[in-house]
Amino acid sequence: MGFDAWFFARLDYADKERRMNEKELEFIWMPNEQSLGSDVNIFTHVLYRHYSSPDGFGFDTDSNDQQWINDITSEDFNAPAEAEYLKSQLDERIDHYLTDDMFVLIGDDFRYVNAYQNYMNIDNMIEYMNANYNDTYHFKYATPSNYVDAVAKHNVSWPTKYDDMFPYSDNPDGYWTGYFSSRANDKELIRKTSHQMHASTQLYSEKALDISLQSE
């Protein structure tokens, strides 16, 4: 498809739980191996917390999370507590991946309304974490390509997946597969009747035009 890796969030909840427990949130996907062969593969990364910020660190205008304040003279100075809470989440997260590199998103749907506020807080977070937790984590801005290059340096035998990601459900009663593939017979009937309807509409329109021209 023209790229070497992809990152996605919507994996079936039961499959994701299993992959978290077995450190298989990253794997090599070989779709249609029988027809495409084993050379067609792609590094796949399942996002840990959907495509959302770590809990408590959504810094945008419409978020209720606290702003990250590094200024010790401010009455709102909260960097130590924020850092400890963030570290606790990262410690839990890293246990589910095979390397010590982490891909952490900040944001979500409609969560970059105020870019200045977002980046001011992220800058404060990076500055404080690197100054106080650099023995454990080193924070920096990065792209997906940067992350793929980083994990490629590790000597890891990645799990392999050959089939697709369906069925997809985000809870025991919340299946999304009908969004794409359910009721195939009904969808075929709808397509066929739709074609007939459009064809008949065109014929009726042409006939109506002929009658109109003849009456002139």
Read off the CATH number of the domain in which 152 is found: 3.20.110.10
Q: Is the pLDDT of residue 178 over 70?
A: no
Q: Are residues 128 and 109 located together in one domain of the fold?
A: yes
Q: Are residues 140 and 166 located together in one domain of the fold?
A: yes
pLDDT of residue 112: 86
pLDDT of residue 37: 66
Buried/exposed code over 130-164 (b: 16+ C-beta within 10 A; e: otherwise):
eeebeeebebeeeeeeebbeebeeeeeebbebeee
Name the domain count of the chain: 2
pLDDT of residue 181: 63
Residue type, 61: T
Q: Are residues 117 and 194 located together in one domain of the fold?
A: no
Do residues 70 and 81 lie in contact, with contact meaning Cβ atoms separated by under 8 Å? no
pTM of structure: 0.77
Average of per-residue pLDDT values in the chain? 90
Residues 108, 113, 116, 121, Cα dihedral to 10°: -30
pLDDT of residue 19: 97
Q: Is the pLDDT of residue 81 over 60?
A: yes
**Domain range for 129:** 5-177
Q: Are residues 69 and 152 located together in one domain of the fold?
A: yes
**Which one is predicted more confidently, 140 or 181?**
140
Q: Are residues 152 and 196 located together in one domain of the fold?
A: no
Q: Are residues 79 and 146 located together in one domain of the fold?
A: yes
pLDDT, mean of residues 107-133: 95
Q: Are residues 173 and 192 located together in one domain of the fold?
A: no
Q: Are residues 64 and 169 located together in one domain of the fold?
A: yes
**Which one is predicted more confidently, 19 or 36?**
19
Residues in contact with 110: Cβ distance below 8 Å, sequence separation at least 6, in sequence order: 62
**Which one is predicted more confidently, 197 or 2?**
197
What is each CA distance from 67 to 76, 140, 162, in whole angstroms? Answer: 9, 19, 43
In this structure, the chain runs to a length of 216
pLDDT of residue 38: 67
pLDDT of residue 90: 97
Q: Are residues 109 and 139 located together in one domain of the fold?
A: yes
Confidence of residue 34 (pLDDT cuts 50, 70, 90): low
**Which one is predicted more confidently, 50 or 188?**
50
pLDDT of residue 216: 65
pLDDT of residue 179: 63
Q: Are residues 61 and 141 located together in one domain of the fold?
A: yes
Q: Are residues 88 and 154 located together in one domain of the fold?
A: yes
**Which one is predicted more confidently, 48 or 165?**
48
Q: Are residues 59 and 99 located together in one domain of the fold?
A: yes
Provide the percentage of residues in the chain whose pLDDT is more than 90.
67
Confidence of residue 210 (pLDDT cuts 50, 70, 90): confident
Q: What is the 3-state secondary structure (H, E, C) of the chain?
A: CCCCEEEECCCCHHHHHHHHHCCCCEEEECCCHHHHCCCCCEEEEECCCCCCCCCCCCCCCCCCCCCCCCCCCCCCCCHHHHHHHHHHHHHHHHCCCCCCCCCCCCCCCCCCCCHHHHHHHHHHHHHHHHHHCCCCCCCCCCCHHHHHHHHHCCCCCCCEECCCCCCCECCCCCECHHHCCCCHHHHHHHHHHHHHHHHHHHHHHHHHHHHHHHHC
